[in-house]
Structure 1
């Protein structure tokens, strides 16, 4: 797909007047050394550096690269840098809007450019996981014949979303989420670099912290918000982007929440206590504060898993399954979509029947063990699968429950020191009411009571 007249005109205008371009475009890295984050992919001699011809031997390796990682971390940027470093045409398609027809047009254009004036092409295909198997198949001839250098981006696991023939012919690079330190370096560069704001304004610490939170690890979002704040500050004649100006510019209030301080633990504590108290609306409020402040979704998911056992337990045995499934989903999809998963889990936990019996039971048992109430294991429960065990009386007289009516044997299991102790005290809430009835019957049978 050749650039149209409007695209060519826009590119010419940006070249003559760079300031007309968005800040995120002006600050786009020109070399791999300017790329933010992804240090594991940018080491000397790495496959990515060899792809652009750095090191001995020039360009090497496959002509297809798959970039896997969350949104906003530089997949498009890396593709652009590769095209610039190798002096190739850069053509971008999105699998959301493009189909086989568009892909074939790009491939035909690449072949003409290569044969006509020796210019090779980098085809960047965003969200390749949205292509069907047949659509992905259409890329294979171009990859195998090296008609284009294909750089495909996906936010989903490529082993599940990309066909094996294409995957086997590609270099798979896993990109990592950008850290606050990565984004901080990018912001400082944009503030001072002549391509960016050229020192026109400064960014105080509180405004920077707010900007990092609303960016959510997305470099493009960070630069867009910085540009909006800088524009407002300059229009007001101010030399710095104050927190108030930034809030007005991006229409996002700064959440008072320090991920490394007291507020981090206070809000997390309020979230769990609201779940424990079954106040679903307060639960959602504190969850929203954590999300808006840029809290790590994995931290939230871990707290919810703990609550599922500590505060709900056997009153709803499915609560832990829900929390674990939610944590797995959050790890796979990340923000912003993970907010929906976290909301679903938090609502389910807040509305579930509550029981801390499992929590109290293990702590009571631990307290006795720590107090020295352990004692030897009763002989009939000891291992009898070795020579000489019988002479020691180990495993002798053990009653096999499966051979008895009801599957319960009236025999002693606990050591003498804690015999008769009852650690588990089930509630009558939710599903645990059934466990309460069961445990009384079982304890009675274990004691040998006739009525059990």
Structure 2
């Protein structure tokens, strides 16, 4: 009983893994990689308790590799070098897999120390993070790795694992465990898509169960509700991201429902997770309000800065201001869509040449077809505008930005229609 239940109930085969069917289902990419036995460097991104460590272990066992595990919160360069030294020993004959949990806590120098060894193949790196790796993981490591995003597990997917956990607990203590109706479903719903947290809750429920008349243990709903609630609060305060709540918050603000938006913000604040709330509000200000009310970005940034300086409980006040302001503001995603359209062209066309008059050089080679820069300085012309080509020749008529149907953008549209129309006329 000294080994945690969540550890003892880990799946014994790929088919027993709970959730992640988009990665681990038949024919899905990560499953094919595992079954191939040839393992590249990988980054697992997603919330805690959804199977990242379990799958890393499966990979190591299936490839017959020696697995070492480090945690970014405590690992040092010396720890990494010690593992590298093992590659020269007999244990490294079949390859060494380093599972680096919470890689986002390693600084740049620590992450750089891995590069030489993952490039020469001495180690295979599987790192995991609960934060977006494109913000927190060194670019050189990302470029040498494949990123897989793990999702929170649904209550329907967690329920079978909870039942297995209750059965295993009953076997361990040699006593029948009786569950009131709805116990399994309540635990599955109440642990935020975290399988490990659900199994830990099962263990707590059995340890605190009441004795029945025939020597059995009774797990009652009142006990489950209390333990699940406490478990959930610990889960939230540890900083794990609640993707569903953040999604609901953004969609409520996008839909201009200030009451729903405040509700979801309050859930994050009650959990102490103001960092995720602040980040999402900054995204919303540009993605969903955008040019319909450009000052929304400035106000939101000011509220976020105030919240982070104040800390809880006072942080709730400027955050409430930002949430309600964003929800009740006019909406436009025109800038967001313009950037997406432009990025699509850049990906499809690569680095196209741009007009000679925009280049930052003032000398032409002997083979230049057009000599001289011929740039027209807009400030020398009425209304500070003059017609000239700015886009590359292949895209010269491309339109990325469409004015939104709101007062601010329509006023800008009318202004430039007058200025450009007059000059073109």
Q: TM-score, normalised by structure 1?
A: 0.52
- 2:148 is the counterpart of 1:173: yes
Question: CA distance change for structure 1 residues 234 and 284 in 2, over 3 Å: closer, same or farther?
Answer: same
Write the mapping of 1:7-22 to structure 2, written as runs, cut at 5 A. Answer: 19-22=1-4
Q: How far 1:322 moved relative to its partner?
A: 6.2
- Aligned equivalent of 1:92, options 45, 52, 69: 69
- Aligned equivalent of 1:225, options 198, 201, 204: 201
SS of corresponding position for 1:91? strand
Report how many aligned residue pairs link the two structures.
298
- Aligned equivalent of 2:112, options 137, 144, 149: 137
Structure 2, gaps ≥5 residues long:
234-247, 305-310, 332-381, 384-425
SS of corresponding position for 2:219? coil
Q: Residue in 2 aligned with 1:435?
A: none
Question: CA distance change for structure 1 residues 354 and 96 in 2, over 3 Å: closer, same or farther?
Answer: closer
**Distance across 2 between alignment mates of 1:51 and 1:240:** 44
Q: Residue in 2 aligned with 1:362?
A: none
Question: CA distance change for structure 1 residues 318 and 218 in 2, over 3 Å: closer, same or farther?
Answer: farther
Q: Residue in 1 aligned with 2:17?
A: 35
- 2:136 is the counterpart of 1:152: no
**Distance across 2 between alignment mates of 1:111 and 1:340:** 55
C-alpha deviations, 1:240-294, integer Å up to 9, x for none?
Answer: 4211222454674999xxxxxxxx9xxx9xxx78799xxxxxx7899349977xx
Q: How far 1:98 moved relative to its partner?
A: 0.8
Q: How far 1:220 moved relative to its partner?
A: 1.3
- 2:310 is the counterpart of 1:346: no
Question: CA distance change for structure 1 residues 245 and 61 in 2, over 3 Å: closer, same or farther?
Answer: closer
Q: Residue in 1 aligned with 2:187?
A: 211
Question: CA distance change for structure 1 residues 166 and 192 in 2, over 3 Å: closer, same or farther?
Answer: same
**Distance across 1 between alignment mates of 2:104 and 2:8:** 29
Conservation of the 8 A alpha-carbon contact between 1:30 and 1:84: no
C-alpha deviations, 1:356-382, integer Å up to 9, x for none?
Answer: 9x89xxxxxxxxxxxxxxxxxxxxxxx
Question: CA distance change for structure 1 residues 246 and 326 in 2, over 3 Å: closer, same or farther?
Answer: farther
Conservation of the 8 A alpha-carbon contact between 1:232 and 1:249: no
SS of corresponding position for 1:20? coil
Structure 1, gaps ≥5 residues long:
1-18, 256-263, 277-282, 328-336, 360-402, 405-452
Q: How far 1:223 moved relative to its partner?
A: 0.9
**Distance across 2 between alignment mates of 1:166 and 1:353:** 36
- 2:48 is the counterpart of 1:71: yes
**Distance across 1 between alignment mates of 2:194 and 2:10:** 14
Question: CA distance change for structure 1 residues 51 and 149 in 2, over 3 Å: closer, same or farther?
Answer: farther
**Distance across 1 between alignment mates of 2:98 and 2:267:** 39
Q: How far 1:45 moved relative to its partner?
A: 4.2
**Distance across 1 between alignment mates of 2:135 and 2:122:** 26
Conservation of the 8 A alpha-carbon contact between 1:23 and 1:223: yes
**Distance across 2 between alignment mates of 1:254 and 1:124:** 27
Conservation of the 8 A alpha-carbon contact between 1:95 and 1:131: yes
SS of corresponding position for 1:109? helix
SS of corresponding position for 2:208? helix
Q: How far 1:23 moved relative to its partner?
A: 0.9
Q: TM-score, normalised by structure 2?
A: 0.55
- 2:78 is the counterpart of 1:101: yes
**Distance across 2 between alignment mates of 1:22 and 1:354:** 44
Write the mapping of 1:301-450 to structure 2, written as runs, cut at 5 A. Answer: 345-348=319-322
Question: CA distance change for structure 1 residues 41 and 326 in 2, over 3 Å: closer, same or farther?
Answer: farther
Conservation of the 8 A alpha-carbon contact between 1:275 and 1:349: no
Q: Residue in 2 aligned with 1:412?
A: none
Q: How far 1:349 moved relative to its partner?
A: 5.0
| Structure exhibiting the larger radius of gyration computed from Cα positions | 1
Conservation of the 8 A alpha-carbon contact between 1:192 and 1:199: no
Q: How far 1:137 moved relative to its partner?
A: 1.7
Q: How far 1:228 moved relative to its partner?
A: 0.2
Q: Residue in 2 aligned with 1:287?
A: 266
